Structure 1
């Protein structure tokens, strides 16, 4: 039986309990949560991780608008030298949620501008973790590491122009 995954950082919001006014939530990940998230994202460490959410029900649209700000300090290794680098991340994001059973599939089939939520539950911690994952530099480089260091490992421009199946064509001609 597969082990059920537990979220590393969680804060459950129940949309049915929201007032009609904008509500503010501030979350800070504790040391053990940051450690688990750094392991999940392949980072050396997450030194700080803070979120600010402003949430407002949109009753006419039968939706909930979430505006968020993410502040994090992460340590990750340079992809060239493997030297640990500290990066500061500040991101803003906005998500519109609709309850799964209120989504009109005929109208919304091709619309990508909302996220569904289920059973009156939105996990703000997991939303923040997902946004952090998107904001992390996938190819971090230490200061002073230039493209010249990578030149011996890069393909030459002539190699890029060659056809990928050129070798197969040569074999076919030999028959």
Structure 2
């Protein structure tokens, strides 16, 4: 697979056959080209730095399964939701992922309604599949970074422009409660 393929901007593949009983320690750092590709993929202004310190080890409870634990640190730049000016932020995330052979991982679509544990926000995340005997640690780090991004970055001093006055009539028309208010008024009449 090429580094230019979507989802492969930051790839670091580990063969599970090479992971010993004591596990494997891996440190990753994205180069400038990778940071640019990740920023493009995540649709943010920039990924300025990205480092991860990970440990991959066999799951003691179940044969053929593995755990990835560690942390990632990144510095990113996103557009402010109010002013669209660049906002720099540091993203620090703990990484905990479980991997199992593809045959042991049940796709969510195949679960019956009553078996849908994945709907429980308190339940453990299901294991990710080990594809072709490999775990892509770079993809894990990129996914965790995307999940750790601030969804509403805002500069501290960003506010509404001077002279802005909301149009009460327009705001009332698009309010989901405007229709309810009309119904309530109609009942009184």
| TM-score bracket for this pair, using the shorter chain length | 0.7 to 0.9
SS in 2 for 1:152: coil
- Of 52-61 and 134-143, more deviation after overlay is shown by 52-61
The reply on whether 1:160 has 2:162 as its aligned counterpart is: no
Report what 2:54 is aligned to: 53
Report what 2:67 is aligned to: 65
Contact kept in structure 1, 2:27 and 2:54, CA below 8 Å: yes
Q: In 1, distance between residues paired with 2:134 and 2:94?
A: 22
SS in 2 for 1:128: helix
Deviations 1:95-136 (A, max 9, x none): 1110112458999x6454311121101111111111111111
Q: CA deviation at 1:160?
A: 3.1
Report what 2:17 is aligned to: 16
Report what 1:93 is aligned to: 95
Q: CA deviation at 1:47?
A: 1.0
Q: 1:4 to 1:147 in 2, by over 3 A?
A: same
Report what 2:82 is aligned to: 80
Contact kept in structure 1, 2:105 and 2:127, CA below 8 Å: no
Contact kept in structure 1, 2:172 and 2:178, CA below 8 Å: no
Deviations 1:68-90 (A, max 9, x none): 31100011111111111110000
Report what 2:142 is aligned to: 129
Report what 1:119 is aligned to: 132
Q: Pairwise CA RMSD of aligned residues? A: 3.3
Q: Which runs of 5+ in 1 are unaligned?
A: 168-175
